[in-house]
Chains A and B, each alone.
Chain A
C-alpha cells in the first residue's frame, strides 16, 4: 500500500501521503498527528484546491506558530537563525503571500533542512575540533613542471625560474608529483595500486609523491587546551550522562567470540561488527558464520547495530538483523578512493564488476530517543588502507550519533580498531585491557 499511495496522489505531490479536503480547518484538526512537512504540503494543497481567502489569515497564524516552535527549541538563537529554520515549504508559501519578503541565499540553502536538524548540525560543529583540509591542485601543468625538477630543491629552482604562481599554489594546495624512474612508462598511465604498489622498483606505471602545505605537516595541538571540551550552549535530547560521565579509555579483550560470555559485557548504545563472512554458495541455509551465533539481545536493548556486509552476505546480514529485532533503515556506503582522491576504478576488485565501495547495514532497535538522527549523509568518502581495514571516519560518525560518553562495542576487531570510548573484542588482539568492572 505504502508504495502505491504516492502514485494515487499524483507524482508531483508525492510527499503528501494523506487525503486532504478543500478547507484549512480540516488540516488544522490533523495538525497534531502530522509531521511538519506534511502539514505544510497539506497547506499548499488546500490552497490549490480551494483558492480560498481564509488561507491568507491562516498563513499568518501558522507563521507565528512556526516561530514560537522554533524558538522553544533553539532558546538562545537569534532571529535570523529562527527564520532560517523554517521549512522550505513555509518559505514558498511566505514568498508567495508576503510580497517584499527578501529571501537571502543563505536562507535558500538551508531551507531544505528541518529545524531540529539545523540545530544538531550547529551543535556538532561547536563540539568538534576543526581539522585542516586542503584542495588538490587540478592543473596538470603544475605536476608536469614539478616532475621535471629535483623535488627536494623545488622551492629554490621555482624561485630562480620565477614560477611564483606555482610556488603559491604549493603553499595552499596538495600536489601529486609523478615519480619518473628509468623503468617508468608515463604513457601507460597510473598504477592501479599507486602508493600501495608492492613492485615499485619494477612497476612501469606511474606513482606519485605528495606535496602538502606546511600546516598539515606539523599540525600543532592548541597551546592552552589540548582537547576541545564538550560544551555546546544548549542540549538537544541527550542524556544527562553526557555531561556527567567521562569517556572511557580504549578497552579490548582477546577472545574467541563464539565462546565469550556476552552476559558479562553489559549493554551498548552502538555495536559495529565486521564479521569474517565465509560464504561460498548462494544458499542461505548452508552459511555458517560466527556472527549468527552472537546472542545480541544480551548486549543491546536499544541502540544501533552496524554490520559490514559483502554482495554475497548482505541478504543474510539483513535477515539476521531483522530476526534480532532491528529495523534496517539505512545503508552506509564507503566510497573508496585512491592516493589521488579518485574513486577506484581498476584492479579487477570484484567478480563481475570492479568494486569501488563497501556496504554497511545500519540496524536500529528500540525507540532510541537519544539518538541524533540525520546528521550525516549515508556516504563515507575515504581512501583504502590495509586489506579489510575500514575507515576511521565511521567511528567519528557513530560517536556523534550516540555520544562520546556512550558505551560502544566492536566485534571481530583488530588492534588498529581499539579506540577511546570503545570496547573491542576479537581473536586477533594483543592481550586484554579492561578498566570497567566486567569480568
Chain B
C-alpha cells in the first residue's frame, strides 16, 4: 500500500490537504477508543478466568431456549453474506434419506427414458420465425418449455411477445421463465399482455441464489444500486401452467413437492461448470413433470461468462448452441421410441410425497 502512496505524485496533494482533516482524524480516534471500551465487555467475558472452573457450554433441551445466530448482525460486522451460512448447500436434502433415495430413483428412471441431446443453432433475429415454422409446418409441440437463464440479456421483450408459446406448448404444459428482479415487472406485463400470456397461469415462483462474492451468477455485477434499495443477489423463475392438471389424480404427469422453490448455487458443481442455467434447475423440471418433450429457448448469446451445454432429454435452441443436430422429424421418431412420459415405479410411488386425499386440489 505504502508503495503507491509514496510513488504517486497526486498523493502528496491529498494528504497535506487541510487542517479540518486533522481535527476530524483526532475526533475519530477518540471515538474509536470510546467505542472499543464499550464493546470490550463481551470479548473479555469470553476468556474470563473466574469462569474457568465451569463448563464452557450448555445443553438446550427446549426449543424456546435455543440459541440462534443472527446472520444479519453477523453480516454487518464481518461481511459474511447470510446465504453462505446455509448448511445444506452441497446436499439440499441432507438429513432426509427417503427423499434422497426418491431423487436418485427418479433420476435413474429419467435417464432411462430420455431422448439424446438435441441442439438447434438459431440466431436471435431468426428465433420467432423458427418457432413459427416449428408450430405451423412441423406441428411440433413440447410439454415443458424453459426460457432464458441466469443472464439479463436473455429477456428480450419484443421477441418474447411474438413467440407462439401457446401453440408450441401442449396442454397440460409447463413454462419456466427466467428473469432478474428488475425484469419481473416486464415478465408480469408479458404474461398479461401477450397473445399467449393469457393462456398460462402463474403457479410457482422459483428463486436461484448465487453463493460467494465472486459467483458468476451475481446479477448485473458492476451496477451500483442507485435505484434499488438492496443489492441484487437473486434470479427469478416463474413456473406457469397451461391446461388442466390436478396434483391428486395426475401423478402420471407430475410429481409434486419433490423439490423446493429455491435453488441455492451449489458451489461444488458451479466451480467446474458455469452453465447458463444451473444443472439442478433441469433436474427440478424433470422431477416435476414426467414429460420427455422438453425445450429450452435461449433467445440471445450466452456471453463469455457462461457456457451452454446440451442436455440429454432436452432440445436447446439459441444462437450459441455448438452442436446443431435438431431435425423435427428425427426428433419425433426419437420421442415415439422413448415414449412421451417417464413411467413411474412402485418404489418411486411409495416414496413420493402425496397430497392428502380429502383436501381437494385447486388449480
Q: Which residues of A contact B (CB under 8 A)?
A: 3-4, 6-7, 11-12, 14-15, 35-37, 41, 60, 63-64, 67-68, 71, 75-76, 78-80, 82-83, 88-89, 98, 100-102, 104, 107, 109, 112, 114, 117, 121, 124-126, 128-134, 136, 138, 151-152, 154-155, 170-171, 174, 177, 187-190, 195-196, 206, 209-217, 219-225, 228-229, 231-234, 280, 282, 304, 311, 314-315, 318, 327-333, 335, 337, 339-346, 348-357, 359, 362, 364, 371, 373-383, 393, 396-397, 400-401
- Whether the pair A233, B31 counts as a contact (CB closer than 8 A) is yes
**How far does the Cβ of A308 sit from chain B's closest Cβ, in whole Å?**
14
Contact flag A215-B46 (CB < 8 Å), given A3-B157, A4-B156, A342-B88: yes
- Across the interface, which residues of A come within 8 angstroms of B51, CB to CB? 214
- Total number of residue pairs linking A and B with CB closer than 8 Å: 368
Annotate B251-276 by CB proximity to A: 1 below 8 A, 0 otherwise: 00010111111101000000000000
- Whether the pair B88, A345 counts as a contact (CB closer than 8 A) is yes
- Across the interface, which residues of B come within 8 angstroms of A71, CB to CB? 14, 17, 21
**How far does the Cβ of B286 sit from chain A's closest Cβ, in whole Å?**
13
Annotate B136-147 by CB proximity to A: 1 below 8 A, 0 otherwise: 000000000000
Least CB separation from B99: chain A residue:
A346
Contact flag A353-B230 (CB < 8 Å), given A15-B222, A233-B24: no
CB under 8 Å from chain A, chain B span 232-264: 232-234, 236, 239, 247, 254, 256-262, 264
**How far does the Cβ of A264 sit from chain B's closest Cβ, in whole Å?**
28
Select the residue from B69, B97, B124 with max chain A CB neighbours within 10 A. B69
- Whether the pair B303, A381 counts as a contact (CB closer than 8 A) is no
- Across the interface, which residues of A come within 8 angstroms of B184, CB to CB? 318, 331
CA distance A280 to B15 in the complex (A): 65
- Whether the pair B224, A35 counts as a contact (CB closer than 8 A) is yes
Least CB separation from B192: chain A residue:
A315
- Whether the pair A7, B153 counts as a contact (CB closer than 8 A) is yes
Option from B14, B83, B224 in Cβ contact (under 8 Å) with A335: B83
- Across the interface, which residues of B come within 8 angstroms of A329, CB to CB? 182, 227-229
- Across the interface, which residues of A come within 8 angstroms of B77, CB to CB? 125, 128, 130
- Whether the pair B82, A380 counts as a contact (CB closer than 8 A) is yes
**Stretch of B34-42, B105-113, B321-329, B336-344 contacting A (4+ beta carbons < 8 Å):** B34-42
**How far does the Cβ of B238 sit from chain A's closest Cβ, in whole Å?**
9
The prevalent SS among residues of B at the interface is mixed
**Stretch of B55-63, B127-135, B309-317 contacting A (4+ beta carbons < 8 Å):** B55-63
Annotate B177-212 by CB proximity to A: 1 below 8 A, 0 otherwise: 000011111101000000000000111111101000
Least CB separation from A174: chain B residue:
B67
Least CB separation from A377: chain B residue:
B233
Option from A124, A126, A209 in Cβ contact (under 8 Å) with B59: A209
Least CB separation from A355: chain B residue:
B261
- Across the interface, which residues of A come within 8 angstroms of B20, CB to CB? 75
- Across the interface, which residues of A come within 8 angstroms of B181, CB to CB? 330-331, 378
B333 within 8 A of A: no
The prevalent SS among residues of A at the interface is mixed
CA distance A11 to B7 in the complex (A): 37
B346 within 8 A of A: no
19 pairs across A/B with beta carbons < 8 Å?
A15-B222, A75-B20, A80-B5, A101-B4, A112-B221, A130-B42, A133-B73, A134-B67, A189-B98, A214-B55, A214-B56, A233-B24, A314-B205, A350-B260, A352-B203, A373-B228, A375-B230, A376-B72, A401-B229
Least CB separation from A101: chain B residue:
B4
CB under 8 Å from chain A, chain B span 135-174: 152-153, 155-158
- Whether the pair A7, B231 counts as a contact (CB closer than 8 A) is no
- Across the interface, which residues of B come within 8 angstroms of A280, CB to CB? 362
CA distance A98 to B68 in the complex (A): 48
Sort A-B residue pairs by CB-CB distance and give the 3 closest, nearest first.
A195-B63, A11-B303, A381-B82
- Whether the pair A210, B87 counts as a contact (CB closer than 8 A) is no
B331 within 8 A of A: no
- Across the interface, which residues of A come within 8 angstroms of B350, CB to CB? none
- Whether the pair B28, A222 counts as a contact (CB closer than 8 A) is no
- Whether the pair A377, B186 counts as a contact (CB closer than 8 A) is no
CA distance A219 to B226 in the complex (A): 38
- Across the interface, which residues of A come within 8 angstroms of B304, CB to CB? 11-12
- Across the interface, which residues of A come within 8 angstroms of B224, CB to CB? 35-37, 114, 117, 374
**How far does the Cβ of B272 sit from chain A's closest Cβ, in whole Å?**
22
CA distance A114 to B257 in the complex (A): 41
Option from A7, A60, A339, A374 in Cβ contact (under 8 Å) with B230: A374
- Across the interface, which residues of B come within 8 angstroms of A220, CB to CB? 41-42, 45
CA distance A349 to B185 in the complex (A): 26
- Whether the pair B1, A80 counts as a contact (CB closer than 8 A) is yes
